[in-house]
């Protein structure tokens, strides 16, 4: 049984890529822009994707009222997946223009400070290693390392290290994914990561379907 999965349209996200990847993973994505659209969708999972500037992403969420909706959804421990900016938006603040995030998790988003020859943005394939075990997002993925696709100049620094689901090395290690209950977020782009990325979306869809069965 596949559950509807709502994908938030902030106006700056890679919406088509994410919805197509969810479809390829066997999910039923529904695009939503407002809390009312989410309520009427009867979705069991919620995805917040994003590319571009974090300020634009957060301003869009606040202007539509979806900021409070995301906070409430995660507080209720319903299946949630943030992607790239959708992960960064969950924290308190960012060095990118001094942006205040949604403040769901304590921590900051900081710019890479790297010595040559490493370049910013961090772009391309890199190996992600899981630091937790047994979460719903990891089914079928090797804990010691899987390759995913990244495009970012900033990375998240959670105050609570128990949030960290996975790390990646680009110079020093940085946080590649977080998890708290049924809320997940990745700095990498599953929709650009071929088979392993589709497995991430398939796992998230299964988590949403399990929520539907429990309900």
Alpha-carbon gap, residue 143 to 130, rounded angstroms: 5
Is 122 labeled as catalytic in the residue annotation?
no
Is 189 labeled as catalytic in the residue annotation?
yes
Catalytically annotated residue among 57, 84, 156, 168: 84
**174-197 burial code (b ≥16 CB/10 A, e <16):** bbbbbbbebbbbbbbbbbbbeebb
Measured CA distances, 79 to 69, 90, 144, 153, 212 (Å):
13, 15, 25, 27, 10
Catalytically annotated residue among 122, 152, 155, 189: 189
Q: Which residues pair with 45 in a beta bridge?
A: 5
Three-state DSSP state, 96: coil
Is 84 labeled as catalytic in the residue annotation?
yes
Taking alpha carbons only, the member of 38, 16, 22 closest to residue 203 is 22
Catalytically annotated residue among 13, 152, 155, 191: 191
Cα 204–chain centre separation:
11
Catalytic residues: 84, 189, 191
């Amino acid at each position: 049984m596949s559950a509807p999965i709502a994908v938030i349209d902030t106006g700056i996200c890679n919406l088509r890529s994410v919805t197509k990847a969810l479809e390829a993973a066997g999910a039923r994505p529904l695009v939503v822009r407002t809390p009312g659209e989410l309520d009427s969708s009867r979705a069991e999972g919620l995805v917040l994707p994003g590319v571009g500037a974090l300020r634009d992403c957060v301003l869009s969420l606040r202007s539509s009222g979806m900021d409070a909706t995301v906070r409430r959804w995660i507080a209720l421990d319903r299946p949630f997946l943030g992607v790239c900016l959708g992960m960064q938006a969950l924290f308190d603040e960012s060095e990118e223009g001094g942006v205040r995030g949604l403040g769901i998790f304590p921590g900051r988003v900081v710019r890479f400070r790297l010595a040559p020859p490493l370049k910013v943005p961090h772009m391309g394939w890199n190996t992600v290693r899981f630091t937790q075990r047994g979460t719903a997002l990891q089914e079928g993925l090797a804990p010691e390392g899987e390759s995913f696709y990244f495009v970012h100049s900033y990375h998240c620094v959670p105050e609570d290290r128990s949030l960290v689901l996975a790390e990646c090395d680009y110079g020093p290690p940085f946080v590649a994914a977080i998890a708290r209950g049924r809320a997940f977020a990745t700095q990498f782009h599953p929709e650009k990561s071929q088979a392993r990325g589709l497995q991430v979306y398939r796992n998230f869809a299964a988590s949403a379907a399990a929520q539907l069965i429990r309900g």
